[in-house]
Structure 1
């Protein structure tokens, strides 16, 4: 094994450790909420994310090549999100509070169509009503970020990044002023580190596709995509989507548990 392969192995070990630790904490929170199926689900997703690349011959090298090709574009996506977050906070200072709108949208999604009361009927319902809810909510932006760049000259992908940043910046700042920014960090970081990484990876892939398309149109590239490129990119997208699913479980169980703990904690 050469030095570069050793670095890749160590890097993936660190990623796998974070994923597995997050899954373990989420599984414990799910069991405490009488949701063993969800606990098993998050562990399965984490194992698939952490163990599959090292287990498949050449998969880590493929991921390394994909990351080297896309990292500048992923950084650009993160930058757009950051600009959106700053704009969202400035909107709140100017008097535009998006928190009520977000709460109304969530109420519309979470209230059953028959008008029945809330609560968890069983473990299957719990899994479908929480983790599944977040997966369904976050998968379309993930896919739009990829496909939108080559189809809209990058405009849709840029919009997805900036819009998400505006919402997070505005709502996070609004909630932070009410309950403290340390509480906001506790509630956002555990799932946000996985969810945002997934969205940045998706947008990075989209921007790279756009760049390749421009190069093909200008004649500096023989083919828009190749089998090797599709293989590399598919590995990156696959890892990104698994991180998105992991984030859904963390948000549905660990973040909810943290929120309940913060609400129950006595004021100092």
Structure 2
């Protein structure tokens, strides 16, 4: 058995992305200067680093993270390799997914209903929440790509890139309540019962196209998402 960590590191140097957002803040309560043990509080954005989204994130009245069946985030996953098929600042279209799917089948694998589908681009090598390049020049999903994914009836979809053009969200901050959802593709996937596993990394370290993937969220009542420690198991 081989375990591959698919999780980005959270640290306190990440607090520069959106006004008013704290990615991570460690608050020491006890330390070895004032005690014989160490104990801390932590303040964290629920969408910081590698995390999962529940429907409540973009669907009013949707399920919160504590209401989601844990098995939706812990199950077999297939890796769709989009490296070489997508470019920076470019849309991911149905044709690229078709080619990646054919590559999967050429290796003797297929997508089964209920799988987690993981889209690999290797964009995660540029990962830093404070990096404009990572956030603003990544390849991004389109509605036709989302439709392609929904047709396969996955349990969840994982990404190693900011799957939606995040600049649309940044433009809505501080200007009052937006008239429309700045994350429409999130809403389409989550509204159809497909959960999101975001900001995965190290997909290039996987040696197999089918793995067991675990991305279990914290059980926070009423929360719309949660950071996770995501990992793949190759058996």
Q: Considering the TM-score relative to the shorter chain, is it more than 0.5? A: no
TM-score range, shorter chain: under 0.3
Of structures 1 and 2, the one with the larger relative CO (CA 8 A, separation 6+) is 2
Q: Which has the larger radius of gyration?
A: 1
More strand by share: 2
